[in-house]
Amino acid sequence: MTEEVFDLTCDLINRSSETPNDGGCQQLIAQRLTTAGFNVNHLPFGPVCNMWAKVGEGEPLVVFAGHTDVVPPGPLAHWRSPPFQATVVGQYLYGRGAADMKSSLAAMTVATERFLLGHPDHIGSIGFLITSDEEGDATDGTAKVIDHLNQQGTRIDMCIVGEPSSDKKLGDVVRVGRRGSLNGRMRFVGEQGHVAYPDLACNPIHAAITALSQLVTKIWDTGNAYFPPTTFQISNLNAGTGAANVIPGELDVRFNFRFNTEHSAEDLQAAVENHLLNHDRRIEVIFDWQLSGQPFLTKKGRLLDAVQTAIRSVASLDPELSTSGGTSDGRFIAPTGAEVVELGPVNESIHKINECVRISELEPLAKMYQNILFRLLC
């Protein structure tokens, strides 16, 4: 019994699923869920594999959400073992996706099998929403499945996302929300020329320096009771021909806001555009914006109560409730009105060479998920 989560995690790691590939992971999970009584629907969009599975009828609909795709492994020579070959070294299981998030998928699956076996007359229903497009563009994954569910009239009440939320030990941190993510691009258009004749050209780098510095040092807000402060980070700067004696004609700047509920994406866009309008008018600035996700927050309620109680029961911990970190597919689920939390393994090794998960925390994770189901559906 106690090897079930370990074995399934290994089976999933052994299936190479570099985003947006699934590598057969969803088919493996689907077979087990079908045996457990689920109605499974595969929903491919473009190159992305998605799966929606459901068992039971009525409310509440409690959903486990996750992804089978993983980030590229990086230089293979730096791995202590092949990244898509589950390998035990000491107390850890190594492999790409071990922590992010194939161990969570395995624990969710086993927890649900056990719950249904022990409580066939449970109330409500259980769903699984799994995609292979979380680590990539995230356009043909969970967002598309949510659109499909909305068209079908299916409403998710509560959702546990299996992202690796924990910090030092399993269950010490639960994500109850995420900041929004707004990507931006500014193209400063000046006039190319010879560096010896700056009066005959217009250097977009010089024109942009002051304005960009002010954006970088600006205090956008101080955060609030639930979220850390909004941040602005420049991620890419590109200009020039490669020649030292040519004033560039254009400067391309890419940046990102991670923003809390003190702002809307529209507010931030307007602030940046208005700020640039007040600088060198010889320079044309062209903007392009992409909203990756709005901020979301799950406050105290049935789901959070069940999650906290389950963690205390299994691990004797009072978890920190956090909104820090990057984005997750919870940003597509929360706008439907669902309560959303993230609970998963320790995130210390995610996206790194030699990604791993502590073997002794696999079974407790399944017990937490099973305990949550019991508290919500029994």
4-178+295-377 fold:
Aminopeptidase (3.40.630)
Confidence of residue 280 (pLDDT cuts 50, 70, 90): confident
22 classed as catalytic: no
Angle at 86 between CA 92 and CA 15, to 5 degrees: 140
Please, which residues bridge with residue 256 across strands? 183, 233
Rg (CA), the chain: 24
| Distance in angstroms (rounded) separating the CA atoms of residues 257 and 234 | 9
Mean pLDDT score across all residues of the chain: 95
Active-site residue (options: 22, 134, 157, 355): 134
Q: How high is the pLDDT of residue 279?
A: 77
Q: How high is the pLDDT of residue 244?
A: 95
Confidence of residue 277 (pLDDT cuts 50, 70, 90): confident
| Distance in angstroms (rounded) separating the CA atoms of residues 16 and 68 | 10
Q: How high is the pLDDT of residue 212?
A: 95
The answer to whether residue 96 scores a pLDDT higher than 60 is: yes
Confidence of residue 325 (pLDDT cuts 50, 70, 90): confident
Distances (CA, A) of 101 to 77, 109, 204, 343, 351: 23, 13, 44, 11, 11
Q: How high is the pLDDT of residue 231?
A: 95
Q: How high is the pLDDT of residue 2?
A: 65
pTM above 0.95, yes or no: no
- The mean pLDDT of 31-55, rounded to a whole number, is 97
Active-site residue (options: 69, 163, 342, 355): 69
Nearest to 185 by CA among 333, 288, 54: 288
pLDDT in tens, 140-161: 999 999 999 999 999 999 999 9
Domain positions in the chain are: 4-178+295-377, 180-293
Confidence of residue 40 (pLDDT cuts 50, 70, 90): very high
Q: How high is the pLDDT of residue 332?
A: 94
Confidence of residue 1 (pLDDT cuts 50, 70, 90): very low
| Domain at 180-293, CATH class | alpha beta
The answer to whether residue 163 scores a pLDDT higher than 70 is: yes
pLDDT in tens, 4-30: 999 999 999 999 999 999 999 999 999
41 Cβ neighbours under 8 A, 6+ residues apart:
51, 52, 53
The answer to whether residue 59 scores a pLDDT higher than 60 is: yes
135 classed as catalytic: no
pLDDT in tens, 222-269: 999 899 999 999 999 999 999 999 999 999 999 999 999 999 999 999
